[in-house]
C-alpha cells in the first residue's frame, strides 16, 4: 500500500505537482507535512479489513480539534494499491466503533461524531 496525493484536493503544490483544486472537492490542509500524511495513511482504519481496495479513514488531532480524513483507493501501481485522501464528510459507524474501542476517540467524541457526520 502506498499514499500519493491527488492534486484535485490541493490548494498548494505537493509532491504530485501543482494544485488542481476545484470547488466541488474538499481541499486538504496546507499545513500537513508529507511525513504526517504518510503517518495518517499508515495508521488509517479500513472500512473492510478483508478488501485491499477498501476505503480507509484517519484521525488527526489539532489544536482546533479532530480532523477526519477519507482515504480512497486510486489505482494499483505494479500490483500495489495506491490511495489518496481528503477531509471526510462521513465515517461508517463500524470505523467509529473501532476508534472508540482502540481509545483513539473518547466516548463523548464518539457520540458527537455519530450526531454530526451524515451516514453515521
Domain-located, residue 110 = no
Of 21, 99, 112, 24, which Cα lies nearest the Cα of 65? 112
What's the pLDDT tens digit per position in 17-70? 565 666 666 766 777 787 888 899 899 999 999 999 999 999 999 898 899 999
What pLDDT band is residue 93 in, cutting at 50, 70 and 90? very high
Please give the DSSP secondary-structure letter assigned to residue 48: S
Domain-located, residue 96 = no
Domain-located, residue 107 = no
**Number of compact structural domains in the chain:** 1
What's the pLDDT tens digit per position in 63-92? 988 999 999 998 899 998 988 888 888 899
Domain-located, residue 23 = yes
Domain-located, residue 117 = no
Domain that holds residue 24: 2-89
In the predicted model, is pLDDT for residue 7 greater than 70?
no
Amino acid at each position: 500500500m502506498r499514499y500519493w496525493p491527488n492534486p484535485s484536493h490541493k490548494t498548494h503544490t505537493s509532491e504530485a505537482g501543482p494544485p488542481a483544486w476545484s470547488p466541488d472537492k474538499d481541499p486538504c490542509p496546507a499545513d500537513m507535512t508529507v511525513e504526517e500524511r504518510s503517518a495518517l495513511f499508515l495508521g488509517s482504519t479500513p472500512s473492510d479489513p478483508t478488501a485491499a481496495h477498501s476505503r480507509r479513514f484517519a484521525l488527526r488531532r489539532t489544536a482546533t480539534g479532530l480532523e477526519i480524513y477519507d482515504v480512497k483507493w486510486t489505482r494499483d501501481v505494479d500490483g500495489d494499491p495506491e490511495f489518496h485522501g481528503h477531509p471526510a464528510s462521513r465515517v461508517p459507524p463500524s470505523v467509529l466503533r473501532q476508534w472508540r474501542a482502540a481509545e483513539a476517540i473518547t466516548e463523548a467524541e464518539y457520540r458527537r461524531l455519530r450526531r454530526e457526520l451524515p451516514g453515521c
